[in-house]
């Protein structure tokens, strides 16, 4: 039996992967290395790396404090490398913060009115729900990589030409 070594990547140490296309056009495939995308992004720029109908997987570079966000639906966040805190506020008036018919994350102009729900401390592989009716912000002492499941919305950035393998 062969010996295998698992190497965990991070935003500050990774190898960009590749895809071997046998008999097709590489433009028909999306391959994006999440650490590579995060390393080349501005803090809290939410870059779509996968899309299925209206649903997206976004990668964000966590660094310092983020703006406040809210969505009219649940979202999920997974930390892929270094520690990130998620701060949550239960909104006094969720419909005033975000149109209940809207999709995707919306940046809020300031700390929203509501009751503090607490914080979640995420490490590599930890996941948290970003619940409907709550606002959230991220805090990271050092650059880290976040994977966010959401719906394509106003904060989703599409950079397909930059992140697809050519």
Q: Encode pLDDT of 107-139 as tens digits.
A: 999 999 999 999 999 999 999 999 999 999 999
Q: How far is CA 40 from the centre of its chain?
A: 14
**Beta strand 46-52 with 156-157: parallel, antiparallel or unpaired?**
parallel
Say which residues have a Cβ less than 8 Å from residue 148's Cβ, sequence separation at least 6.
46, 57, 58, 59, 60, 75, 76, 77, 78, 105, 130
30 vs 75, which has greater pLDDT?
A: 75
The verdict on residue 134 lying in a domain is: yes
The total number of structural domains that make up the chain: 1
For residue 30, pLDDT over 60 is answered with no
Q: Is residue 14 part of a domain?
A: no
Q: Are 87 and 119 in contact (CB under 8 A)?
A: yes
Residue 9, pLDDT score: 85
Q: pLDDT confidence of 7, banded at 50, 70, 90?
A: confident
* Percent over 70 (pLDDT), the chain: 88
Is the pLDDT confidence value at 93 over 70?
yes
Confidence band, pLDDT 50/70/90 cuts, at residue 28: low
Q: Tell me the average pLDDT of the chain.
A: 90
> How many whole angstroms separate alpha carbon 93 and alpha carbon 113?
8
pLDDT at 92: 97
CATH number at residue 110: 2.60.120.10
For residue 5, tell me if it sits in a domain: no
Rounded to the nearest 5°, which phi and psi values hold at 57?
Answer: -105, 120
The domain of 97 spans 26-163
Measured between its terminal Cα atoms, the distance across the chain in Å is 36
Q: Compute how many other C-beta atoms are within 10 angstroms of the C-beta atom of residue 15.
A: 10
């Amino acid at each position: 039996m062969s010996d295998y070594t698992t190497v965990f990547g991070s935003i500050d140490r990774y190898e960009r992967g590749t895809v071997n296309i046998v008999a097709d056009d590489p433009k028909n495939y999306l391959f994006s290395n999440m650490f590579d995308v995060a390393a080349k992004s501005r803090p809290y720029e939410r870059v779509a790396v996968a899309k299925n109908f209206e649903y997206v997987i976004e990668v964000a570079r966590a660094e310092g404090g983020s703006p406040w966000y809210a969505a009219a639906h649940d979202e999920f966040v997974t930390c892929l490398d270094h520690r990130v805190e998620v701060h949550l506020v239960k909104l006094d008036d969720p419909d005033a913060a975000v149109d209940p018919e809207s999709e995707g994350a919306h940046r809020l102009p300031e700390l929203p009115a509501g009751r503090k729900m607490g914080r979640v401390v995420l490490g590599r592989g930890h996941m948290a729900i970003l619940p409907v009716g709550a606002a959230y912000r991220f805090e990271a002492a050092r650059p880290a990589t976040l994977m966010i499941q959401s719906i394509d919305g106003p904060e989703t950035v599409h950079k397909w030409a930059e992140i697809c393998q050519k």
